[in-house]
Amino acid sequence: MDRLIIEGGHPLNGEVTIAGAKNAALGLIPAVILSEGVCRLENLPNIKDVNRFIDILGRMGAKVERENGNTVIFDTENVEKFEMLDDETKKMRASYYLIGALLGRFKKVVIPFPGGCNIGVRPIDQHIKGFEALGAKVSLEHGIISAEADELIGAPIYLDVVSVGATINIMLAAVKAKGVTVLENAAKEPHVVDVANFLNLMGANIKGAGTDVIKITGVQKMHGCEYMVIPDQIEAGTYMIAAAATKGDVLVKNVIPKHLESISAKLMEMGAEIIEHDDAVRVIGKEPLKAVNIKTLPYPGFPTDLQQPMAVLMCMAEGTGTITESIFENRFKYVDELIKMGAEILVNGRAAMINGRKKLSGTTLSATDLRAGAAMVIAGLVADGKTEVTELKHLDRGYENMERKLLDLGANIIRIRD
């Protein structure tokens, strides 16, 4: 298993270019199954989860042509499979989008319960509620989800919890349903809007994505198109936090600053300087940093996928701050690893209290999940001495060329391939 070795104490300086958004790409790839023509997706991040999903489509019978590491052409005309029960499908959270896409195309689907980061129970009851409202019969037995419908018919659907996955999945199933679906209490994340924009370009009729009411009027046919994935809000936020933590000066390029507002606001509240450009943000780390309180919330609130790197930054700040995790019930596992480095963090249920100004010292850390891995890398960048981050399989699901990007910014980091 690969490891990262980081020698701490080098401020990050220079420019970093952000890749396409993981969580948008993972909705766009299955969406191509609904098209009756060829789709070309640009700016796909070259990361494990995206490559895994592209391969899954290939195994389903799609013709997949890679123009380069980030552009892929899909022709799904010959796809006939609606059952994907292999291990790769099981490993990914986003494989749940096959339910919406395959129901939309074949009115039938069989897949394993999805995997992804172990950060809580992660039920899919709201997805199922949506599919059932559209007329599908859904069963979940022995870890296998089966769904089938004679016909999908648009319906009003109210989500009991704001769920990114359920919002996108229901859009995928509803775009070719008969009649109108009105989805209320929908998620407003940028990747929800990205998937809706892509589906509309393919011929769908979706209005209101980005608000909490999405209206989907079913269409009979969808055609091919070319589309460019939006920049990754979470990757951008990770480098912004790393720049502030190392007291560096980094221009984070190829971003949509509007998507980063909750992160920029917190970094400024802590004392970092943020300069916004049209498609870039510059982060200048300052001393001293002030402790803050953060609560993770659905967009446009502070993203749950960035509370872990923020916890490391709060270890650098003066005073005591808190992070309240309101989305997932078990997303503080990384704290045990930070404590090994000398961090003073007390977790009580959904909240972590962080006493700052504690010196972190390098040691061997295990990346328990994707964003835990990002937090550990940032901890390694600021710690005294050498930090070794193991279990990179999680980190590699979500960050493109992380060590290359950090090396270019002046970090002392190497990947040992075992």
Ligand X SMILES: CC(=O)N[C@H]1[C@@H](OP(=O)(O)OP(=O)(O)OC[C@H]2O[C@@H](n3ccc(=O)[nH]c3=O)[C@H](O)[C@@H]2O)O[C@H](CO)[C@@H](O)[C@@H]1O
Ligand Y SMILES: C=C(OP(=O)(O)O)C(=O)O
- Site residues (vs ligand X, CB under 6 A): 23, 26, 93-94, 120-127, 161, 163-166, 187, 304-305, 327-328
**For residue 75, is it left (φ>0), alpha (ψ between -120 and 50) or beta?**
beta
CB 263, min distance to ligand Y, A: 14
Angle at 26 between CA 379 and CA 54, to 5 degrees: 110
Q: Which of ligand X, ligand Y, none binds 84 (CB below 5-8 Å, type-dependent)? A: none
Q: Which of ligand X, ligand Y, none binds 20 (CB below 5-8 Å, type-dependent)? A: none
Which one, 251 or 327, has the nearer CB to ligand X?
Answer: 327
Ligand-binding site membership of 300 (annotated): no
Q: Point out the residue whose Cβ comes nearest to ligand X.
A: 165
CB 122, min distance to ligand Y, A: 8
Q: Which of ligand Y, ligand X, none binds 175 (CB below 5-8 Å, type-dependent)? A: none
Instruction: List Cβ neighbours of 269 (8 Å cut-off, separation of 6 or more).
Output: 290, 292
Structure tokens given for 117? 């980061």
Active-site residue identified among 39, 117, 225, 315: 117
Q: Which of 317, 337, 350 is nearest to 380 (CA)?
A: 337
Q: Which of ligand X, ligand Y, none binds 123 (CB below 5-8 Å, type-dependent)? A: ligand X
Q: Which of ligand X, ligand Y, none binds 127 (CB below 5-8 Å, type-dependent)? A: ligand X
In 148-214, alpha helices (H) = 164-174, 190-201
Reported as type and span, the H/E element at residue 49 is helix 48-59
Ligand-binding site membership of 123 (annotated): yes
- What is the Cβ-side half-sphere exposure of residue 340, based on CA atoms within 13 angstroms? 16
Ligand-binding site membership of 415 (annotated): no
Could you give the CA distance from residue 101 to residue 94 in angstroms, rounded to a whole number? 12
Ligand-binding site membership of 327 (annotated): yes
CB 132, min distance to ligand Y, A: 23
Residues 291-330: x where in contact with ligand Y by CB under 6 A, - otherwise, as a string:
--------------x-------------------------
The one-letter code for the residue type at 292 is V
Could you give the CA distance from residue 414 to residue 5 in angstroms, rounded to a whole number? 5
Which one, 65 or 329, has the nearer CB to ligand X?
Answer: 329
| Residue 19 binds ligand Y (CB under 6 A) | no
Q: Which of 253, 227, 257, 225 is nearest to 239 (CA)?
A: 253
DSSP string spanning 345-373?
Answer: EEEETTEEEEE--PPPB--EEE--SHHHH
One-letter-per-residue 3-state SS of 231-280: ECHHHHHHHHHHHHHCCCEEEEECCCHHHHHHHHHHHHHHCCEEEECCCE
CB 148, min distance to ligand X, A: 19
Instruction: List Cβ neighbours of 121 (8 Å cut-off, separation of 6 or more).
Output: 329
Confirm if 296 and 305 have CB atoms less than 8 A apart. Answer: no
Which one, 35 or 169, has the nearer CB to ligand Y?
Answer: 169
Q: Point out the residue whose Cβ comes nearest to ligand Y.
A: 116
Ligand-binding site membership of 43 (annotated): no
Confirm if 15 and 253 have CB atoms less than 8 A apart. Answer: yes
CB 105, min distance to ligand X, A: 20
Give the footprint of ligand Y on residues 85-124 (CB under 6 A).
Answer: 93-94, 116-117, 119
Q: Which of ligand Y, ligand X, none binds 14 (CB below 5-8 Å, type-dependent)? A: none
Ligand-binding site membership of 122 (annotated): yes
CB 418, min distance to ligand X, A: 28
- DSSP 8-state class, residue 306: G
Cα–Cα distance list, 343 to 159, 311, 313, 316 (Å):
38, 10, 11, 9
CB 14, min distance to ligand X, A: 28
Which one, 144 or 284, has the nearer CB to ligand X?
Answer: 144
Q: Which of 378, 389, 45 is nearest to 238 (CA)?
A: 378
In 277-393, alpha helices (H) = 307-316, 335-340, 370-382
Q: Which of ligand X, ligand Y, none binds 161 (CB below 5-8 Å, type-dependent)? A: ligand X
Which one, 107 or 194, has the nearer CB to ligand Y?
Answer: 194
Ligand-binding site membership of 336 (annotated): no
- DSSP 8-state class, residue 299: T
Residues 21-50: x where in contact with ligand Y by CB under 6 A, - otherwise, as a string:
-x----------------------------
Ligand-binding site membership of 396 (annotated): no
Is 39 known to be catalytic?
no
Just list the catalytic residues: 117
Task: Provide the annotated binding site.
Answer: 22-23, 93, 122-126, 305, 327
Residue ranges for the known binding site for UDP-N-acetyl-alpha-D-glucosamine are 93, 122-126, 305, 327
Residue numbers at the binding site for ligand Y (CB under 6 A)? 22, 93-94, 116-117, 119, 305, 370-371, 398
